[in-house]
Amino acid sequence: MEVGPSLQNYSEAAPVFVMIFVALVILTCLIVAIIKVLIFCKIFSKAGYCWALGLLMLVPIANVIMPFVLAFGDWPIQKEIRLLKQQQEKPEA
């Protein structure tokens, strides 16, 4: 007389649980990647660059280099502000 479930039932269900776990991990990684790209697209857009540069965050080497470009580079929006300030300081003839 068997008291509990057999060991064979557990071994048949294990691959199903592994497949579900792997699918959830892949789905989570995909969602995180999409959110990351959307955030960087918005950051590049606000900095004055083309928003599509945020897609470079999907490229392995570029995703390391582009934050340095944002941090230490001269943003196009800053160049525009500097140009407008220079135009306001010039006396009109």
Instruction: Indicate whether 60 belongs to any domain.
Output: yes
The domain containing residue 67 runs over which residues? 7-89
* Maximum pairwise Cα distance, the chain: 106
Q: Is the pLDDT of residue 25 over 70?
A: yes
pTM check: above 0.95: no
Question: What is the rounded end-to-end Cα distance, in angstroms, of the chain?
Answer: 106
The per-residue pLDDT for 89 is 85
Instruction: Indicate whether 56 belongs to any domain.
Output: yes
Instruction: Indicate whether 84 belongs to any domain.
Output: yes
How many structural domains are present in the chain?
1
9 vs 88, more confident: 88
Q: Name the least confident of 5-14, 21-30, 69-78.
A: 5-14
Instruction: Indicate whether 2 belongs to any domain.
Output: no
Q: Is the pLDDT of residue 6 over 90?
A: no
Instruction: Indicate whether 1 belongs to any domain.
Output: no
Burial of residue 28, with CB atoms counted within 10 A of its CB: 0-12 exposed, 13-18 middle, 19 or more buried: exposed
- Angle, CA of 7, 9 and 10, to the nearest 5°: 65
Instruction: Indicate whether 52 belongs to any domain.
Output: yes
Summarised one tens digit per residue, pLDDT across range 37-51 is 999 999 999 988 999
